[in-house]
Chains A and B, each alone.
Chain A
Amino acid sequence: MSDTKLPAHMDPKNSFQGLILTLQNFWADQGCVILQPYDMEMGAGTFHPATTLRALGPKPWRAAYVQPSRRPTDGRYGENPNRLQHFYQYQVILKPSPENLQELYLQSLYAIGIDPKVHDLRFVEDDWESPTLGAWGLGWECWCDGMEVSQFTYFQQVAGYECAPVSGELTYGLERIACYLQNVDSIMELNFNGREGDEKITYSDVFLQAEQEFSRYNFDHANTDMLFRHFKDAEDECKALLEAGQDGNQHKLAMPAYEQCIKASHAFNLLDARGVISVTERQSYILRVRELAKACGGAWLQTESGGA
């Protein structure tokens, strides 16, 4: 059970931010560096360089962070109880994956108030693949009483490179878990700050307007000419940086190059939401982002943190 010493407004059962803070504390205790969200738009916590890049190369690494995730096609103007174009993922990466990773994960659930003696916790097969990142891994969807609450993946390949050692990646769907813990049916009803009465701030207070406005933007107003241009610019810049950074066996610009790859990927996601990319073109855009990701992964492996 969650720590009884926590004040009520910090209890994950009452508070969205309490949930996040509990996970931060838990993983900090496991030796993770607690990072802050990456300051760029991305589709999932995996895109954060602390996962994508750090998963490559021989050096051990443990990190945990919240990452705002943008899925423009999932926008529903705030009307769908379970679907948002902007949501939070809690991301943990442990490299090499420790032998007791499943155990640690279950303890983290216990910490946020999910008792495995009462709840039916299950590891259900899930092969994870990110075509844009040239990455794949094997693991599970983690189910709590029939609900998928996390993804659990052993990375096998990232950016086209074999992962050795293998990283274990945990991704918690924070809003969904919070709905379960707080016993509400819609994300918008979540108690964000754990307070009651006048002090109570709901998820809707924080994000409803944003969901409405960004759904409009994503589906109707995003300037597609500009986005195509942005995609091309980011792609060009990425390639230019990859070339400029090469210094013998070393690479000096791997991270700035990778940021451009993230930019291109997000521009693609927006274009996809605007419905201006046909099925066949879609494949070729995914391929272009993957080529960038692969080249960035290769560059990273030639940096100090990449183990060069």
Chain B
Amino acid sequence: MPELLLELFSEEIPARHQRRAAENLKKLVTDALVERGLLYEGAVSYATPRRLTLSVVGVPAASAATKSERKGPRTDAPEKAIEGFLRAAGLTSVDQATIQNDPKKGDFYVAITEKPGEKATDIVADIVPQLIEKFPWPKSMRWGSGKLTWIRPLRAITATFAVEGDETETIEFEIDGVKSGNTTFGHRFLAPDAIKVRRFDDYAAALEKAKVVLDLDRRMEIIRADADNLAFAQGLEVIADQGLLEEAAGLVEWPVVMMGNFEEEFLQLPEEVVTTAIRSHQKCFCLRNAETGKLADRFLLISNLEAPDGGKTIVAGNERVIHARLSDAKFFYDTDLHAPLESRLHKLDAMVFHEKLGTQSKRVERLIELAAQLAPMVGAHADDAARAAKLAKADLVTDMVFEFPELQGLMGKYYAAAQGEKPEIASAILDHYKPSGPSDEVPTDAVSIAVALADKLDILTGFWAIDEKPTGSKDPFALRRAALGVIRISLENQLDLDLAGIVKSHMERISGVDDAKIADLMSFFEDRLVVQMRDSGIKHDVLDAVLGNGGLAKGFTLPSIVARAKELATLLESEAGASLLAGYRRAANILRAEEKKDGVSYNDAVNNSAFSQDEEAQLFSAIKVVNESVAANISNEEFAAAMADLASLREPVDAFFEDVLVNDDDPKVRINRLNLLAKLRDTMHLIADFSKLAG
């Protein structure tokens, strides 16, 4: 079967867009082929910095002819109806319609449209320019005097259709001055000449010869393998970095891995400073000593060139740049170490944190107070927490963090340790940013916990105080992440914090207390909790049921809410729980219906003397026992025991519904029974609002 080869040759495509672009090209072309009636056997796409390539095999030489019939009105139908039919069928006169006969309908018109098959080459020539024009680049551009947009200037298009053996046809089309052809180009410097191609096989082979490895994954594999080998030979290990690997492979067509050195003295710098300078700024790999695990004074660079001098010049050049970068870093480090962190704090006066929430200095003052307040609740010394909070943001105004913003927190930790702060205070400067995302770990040291919570609660309380809550997809201050951070820190460290109370006292510091805003913030936390718990397997309705009975605003703590939800989920999974829930629903339905009918809500005391059946009395006495026991167990946070209490209601409830008819003819009996069911409902609501459970 014939095959299609398409290459879009451009100026350098950013590394981070290549993989997605190759996938998009495949999808867009193959979808369009299928839509035009060309069912293919297989398709593969590739990307390098300078080209997107698609190979589609098993493409029919032409699409099949199609025939469609459209039934029309009877031949003696009014003229209007016939005209309408012709218009709809795209015919210009009745002569073009066929007349058919049906025993019921008689003679009627039929429009038969025959579409001849189209040559695959014509179809491709038609669809490719269209999809180039609407290609989904994240950000595209124009160039020269043209109108076309592409990620970077599109310079050439190769499009061939190979039929049998050596026979190939160039698919001809043009888009904004770029004409398709049957030539491509090799490596920009190593083999820049035009190469004539026929089909994918000879194309890929010719490119390989012309120093282009077409496949991104293969380039990554080459880099990985060569890097490992070079490292191994020196007794070193590559510090793996998948993101850097993909980026490096997206910057070359012909990867050549080489090793360079830097001065050993730079190893005195904190390791992260060295690796940040080398990896994120120079896109080179760092290495470790395979035995000691220590950072080595070597790096691996990925060049795009096999040079006649064996790459000596390239290595020397990269070494110079890395030397300059590390010298800068060392200069910053030494300068920063000269001035104690406190001496920089005044610079935070000039940094506005938010127009309505004041400067970073003001924020730090609030953090100090809040961290000290939180300290005893999380087992930290108030003085330590306050000290850590005071220094937490000081590194933002160091030279190093100004140059390498990704080192914020970490530099603060190093500088604090260097000036003799307690280790837990130094660590808190780094760890107070944690968790910075769903996969990041939460702080576990008490001082870090105090400052991390203070940092997040200050942001949340502050933005709620000034009414800047996240809306929809807009969350510019990452408040959702902050709330999630508070939740994870509380849960993973089992901290029973009265969040509403803490936020209340902190809002006082910012703007004065506003109970509605506090309640709103608490329900924001609860919404985040629902999202977070869904990921760990607790369904939202179970959590809703627990929260319905009392959430953060009522002083319940995050760990207790989650513990209750877990126990409730366990209960509901048991047979007793399922049956109890059925009983609850029956009771609640009856109550709802009867309360509506009677226009009252049943909440009165149950009257023993109005019982007429044993099951009533048994249920009532069971409820009384359970009621007291549940209340006691909840206040002791014995949730499993509280659930067991509830489970014990199953039998009397089942018996009640089995043998007792609630709507007795005697109104006294009926009302008493309704009050009894209300008691049952209230007792179960001590644990959770069972009406919120789905199912």
Contacts and interface: CB of A to CB of B under 8 A. Distances in A.
B284 A146 contact: yes
A168 B320 CA distance: 30
Interface in B9-68: 11-12, 14-16, 49
A137 B317 contact: no
Interface in B71-88: none
Contacts of A220: none
Contact of B189 (A117, A137, A154, A279): A117
Contacts of A185: 320, 323-324, 327
Interface residues of B, number: 49
Interface stretch (B304-312, B534-542, B576-584, B673-681): B304-312
Given A146-B282, A147-B321, A166 B14 contact: no
Interface in A171-225: 180, 185
A280 B357 CA distance: 12
A68 interface: no
B15 A125 contact: yes
Interface string A119-151: 111111101000000000111100011110000
Given A96-B144, A122-B251, A280 B355 contact: yes
B232 to A, nearest CB: 24
Interface in A42-57: none
B328 A80 contact: yes
B145 A96 contact: yes
Interface in A77-110: 80-82, 96-99, 102
Instruction: Name the interface size band of chain A.
Output: 35 or more
Given A140-B12, A279-B351, A154 B321 contact: no
B352 A280 contact: yes
A278 interface: yes
Nearest to A153: B141
A275 interface: yes
A80 B331 contact: yes
A177 B320 CA distance: 12
Given A81-B324, A123-B12, A98 B317 contact: no
A154 B309 contact: no
Contact of A180 (B142, B317, B359): B317
A34 interface: no
Given A116-B189, A118-B308, A145 B251 contact: no
B448 interface: no
Interface in B344-374: 347, 350-352, 355, 359
Contact of A154 (B153, B188, B303, B327): B153
Given A119-B314, A122-B304, A278-B359, 13 more contacts: A80-B328, A118-B308, A118-B313, A120-B307, A122-B252, A123-B49, A145-B318, A147-B321, A156-B142, A185-B320, A185-B323, A275-B350, A281-B352
Interface of B: 11-12, 14-16, 49, 139, 141-145, 151-153, 155, 188-189, 251-252, 282-284, 301, 303-305, 307-309, 313-314, 316-318, 320-324, 327-328, 331, 347, 350-352, 355, 359
Which 8 pairs between the two chains have the least Cβ-Cβ distance? A145-B317, A125-B14, A123-B12, A146-B318, A120-B303, A165-B145, A279-B352, A138-B141
8 contacts: A96-B144, A120-B305, A137-B141, A145-B317, A154-B141, A154-B142, A276-B350, A278-B352
